């Protein structure tokens, strides 16, 4: 099955990002294809390489990047939402890229299912 994932919450304020990551990882392990993960609203904070979690906390920014590298998952950050939160190319973490809402529309058309995490 071809899946799309939309992440609307940041990595440290809500469980949605963590759940989305574990869902994506499990789906890939079961043989499904993740066409794209689109980060919108506060979800764009998942792409901020300047974020530093506590040493005993998970580092979702690095985990998402590793997932992209290992499985070729396209991690797209909404440009408008990113700029509102001060996220520019210079502070974008490895594996992420900035693009527009057209990428989300394209994902919705190409995926068998699009799963939304967060409000």
Cα 34 to Cα 20: distance, rounded to the nearest angstrom: 12
Question: Are 78 and 116 in contact, with CB atoms under 8 Å apart?
Answer: no
- For residue 22, how many other CB atoms are within 10 A of its CB? 11
Catalytic option among 6, 47, 63, 78: 78
Distance CA 119, CA 75 (A): 19
Q: Is 69 a catalytic residue?
A: no
Smallest CA-to-CA distance from 38 within 89, 119, 114 is with 114
3-state DSSP: the chain helix, strand, coil percent, rounded to 5? 45, 25, 35
Known catalytic residues are 78
């Amino acid at each position: 099955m071809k899946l799309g994932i939309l992440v609307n919450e940041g990595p440290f304020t809500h469980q949605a990002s963590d759940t989305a990551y574990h869902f994506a990882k499990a789906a890939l392990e079961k043989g499904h294809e993740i066409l794209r993960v689109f980060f919108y609203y506060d979800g764009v904070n998942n792409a901020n390489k300047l974020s530093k979690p506590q040493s005993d906390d998970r580092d979702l920014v690095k985990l998402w990047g590793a997932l992209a590298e290992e499985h070729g998952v396209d991690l797209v950050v909404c440009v408008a939402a990113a700029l509102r939160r001060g996220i520019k190319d210079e502070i974008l973490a490895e594996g992420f890229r900035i693009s527009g809402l057209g990428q989300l529309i394209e994902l919705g058309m190409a995926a068998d299912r699009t799963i939304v995490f967060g409000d």
